[in-house]
Structures are given as C-alpha cells and as structure tokens.
C-alpha cells in the first residue's frame, strides 16, 4: 500500500506534545480560503503546465504521469506557483515500510508521529497500517484533521490512534460552507465524539481579522462544548501563502493580538481555561 506524501518534517514541536515527526499527506476535501499550503489540496492531473516552466528540467511527463527528479530540483517552487489546479508535482508515493525507515532513523529523539495534510484521513487504510507498526516502537500516533472523516464509525483506526487534533474552522454552517466549500455537520459530530471518547488531543480555530462576529460565535460554541477538557488553540490568521480568492475573503492583514485576547477571554467565560494563542 502506498500513499502520496507531500512533505516530512523529522522534528517538529508544533504538531502535538513533545518532539514529533510530522508527515503531510497530499489531497484534502476542503478548500479553505486561508490555506497556507494550497498546493496540498488536490491530486495532480498531469496537465503538464509545471513541466514547461521548470527552469532545470526536473519534471517530465511519462505514461500520463508527472515524474519529479529530486536530484535535479533546485526547490524554486515555480511549479507550485504556476499550477492551475492547487496541486504539486513534488509528491512521493511511499509505502508504510518506506516511512518506517525514516521514523527508525529518528526514533530515539521523538515522542511520536503526527499525520497531517492535506487531509490525512483520506488515506485511512494506510494510517491503520502505519500506526500499527509505529506503536510497536513505543511511539505515539496523533492525527491532525479537519474533521471531514467520521471517526465515530471507525473503531479500528481509533484503537491505534492516540489522539486527534481537530480543526473547527467555524460553527456557523453557512459561514463554514463559504470558508471551506464544505458542510460542517460531521466536524461538529466529531468534536463531540472525540471529546466523549477521550481522544480529543486539541481543538484549533483560525481567527480572522475580517469576521469578529463569526470568530466569537465559533469560540463560544466550541468552549461551551469542550469546557476546558482539552487544549483550545486560537491561531491568528496570517495572509502569507494564501491564494488570491482567499485574500479577497479573509483580508490582507494579520489578526490583531487584541482580537486574540478578546476571544481568549470569551473562551474562559464559557468554561475553557486551557486556551493558547
């Protein structure tokens, strides 16, 4: 079994507790306006645009697929900038054994792995196989998810997963639809299920400079549900790397510290005292 891997960070201290290897999968069912890595959203359709634009001929179209020569690549990211399809040709199809080789190199220095994306749960069978192997090394396995996968219906995945870091992008259904092009019913179901099953490691909400009312509605609703039983991270929106339609929707400025503090105080009032900004 193989999965498309966009990137591996051997040591990360922002993807869960302790030092962790972070593994980023390609493709996501959401299209968030504020996505900082929009090239992870879709799978490549081999249109060939990037091949013509690569300055060092590190890309080639072969048998209807794009082949990336990592040794020739100078990491200029021109291919990502010209891709009209929110994708990247710099993907590696790796097996769980390939990833285990990478994990074993750093196992003494990490507490576990975190799988992210894109949306890693798009590759559910791969995750079950990978986590089963990683746990034999005594390491923990965390999932970073946008909540588009029904965790409540998958006891096998929950058995091998130590926790989920869940994005709740907006609790208002219409605003969530506008922000991500997707419904949020499953996200809210997952929030409650993961909390009740003790698998909710952390909740995250990106707070926007242009929608204070939506920020407040989301922070109030999430805080009332979690009641301080897990960490709640409020991430200030930053416009860097955001595509044009996202900038038009979310704005061109960083969310202010004042807004972050205002929302932190609202979360506290609603019962969530473990808020990080």
Nearer to ligand SF4, 47 or 174 (CB): 47
Candidates 154, 222, 221, 146; CA nearest to 186 is 146
Residues that bind ligand SF4 in the complex, under the rule CB under 6 A: 44-50, 54, 56, 58-59, 66, 68, 73-79, 83, 85, 87-89
CA separation for the pair 243, 239 (Å, rounded): 9
Nearest distance from C-beta of residue 89 to ligand SF4, angstroms = 4
Is residue 232 within 8 Å of residue 215, measured between CB atoms?
no
Nearest distance from C-beta of residue 53 to ligand SF4, angstroms = 6
Nearer to ligand SF4, 78 or 132 (CB): 78
Nearest distance from C-beta of residue 1 to ligand SF4, angstroms = 23
Nearer to ligand SF4, 74 or 174 (CB): 74
Nearest distance from C-beta of residue 60 to ligand SF4, angstroms = 10
Q: Which two tokens stand for residue 89?
A: 């040709």
Nearer to ligand SF4, 85 or 233 (CB): 85
* Helices 212-226, 185-196: crossing angle, 10 deg rounding: 30
At residue 66, the 3 state secondary structure works out as strand
Nearer to ligand SF4, 74 or 253 (CB): 74
Nearest distance from C-beta of residue 118 to ligand SF4, angstroms = 14
CA separation for the pair 26, 7 (Å, rounded): 9
Residue 85 contacts by C-beta under 8 Å, 6 or more apart in sequence?
42, 44, 45, 47
């Amino acid at each position: 079994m193989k999965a498309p891997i966009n990137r591996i960070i051997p040591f990360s201290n922002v993807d869960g507790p302790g030092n962790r290897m972070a593994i980023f999968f390609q493709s996501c069912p959401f299209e968030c306006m504020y996505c900082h890595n929009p090239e992870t959203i879709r799978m490549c359709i081999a249109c060939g645009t990037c091949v013509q634009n690569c300055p060092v001929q590190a890309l080639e179209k072969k048998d209807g697929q794009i082949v990336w020569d990592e040794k020739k690549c100078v990491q200029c990211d021109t291919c990502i900038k010209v891709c009209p399809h929110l994708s990247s040709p710099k993907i590696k199809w790796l097996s769980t054994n390939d990833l285990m080789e990478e994990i074993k190199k750093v196992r003494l220095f990490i507490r576990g792995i975190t799988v992210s994306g894109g949306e890693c749960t798009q590759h559910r069978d791969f995750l079950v196989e990978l986590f089963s192997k990683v746990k034999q090394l005594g390491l923990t396995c965390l999932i970073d998810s946008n909540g588009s996968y029904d965790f409540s219906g998958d006891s096998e995945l929950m058995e091998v997963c130590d926790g989920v870091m869940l994005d709740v992008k907006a609790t208002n259904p219409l605003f969530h639809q506008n922000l991500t092009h997707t419904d949020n019913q499953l996200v809210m179901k997952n929030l409650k299920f993961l909390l009740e099953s003790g698998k909710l490691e952390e909740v995250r909400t990106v707070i926007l400079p242009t929608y204070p009312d939506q920020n407040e509605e989301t922070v109030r609703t999430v805080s009332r549900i979690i009641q301080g039983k897990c960490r709640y991270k409020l991430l200030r929106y930053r416009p860097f790397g955001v595509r044009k339609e996202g900038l038009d929707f979310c704005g061109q400025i960083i969310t202010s510290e004042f807004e972050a503090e205002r929302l932190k105080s609202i979360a506290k009032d609603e019962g969530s005292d473990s808020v990080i900004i």
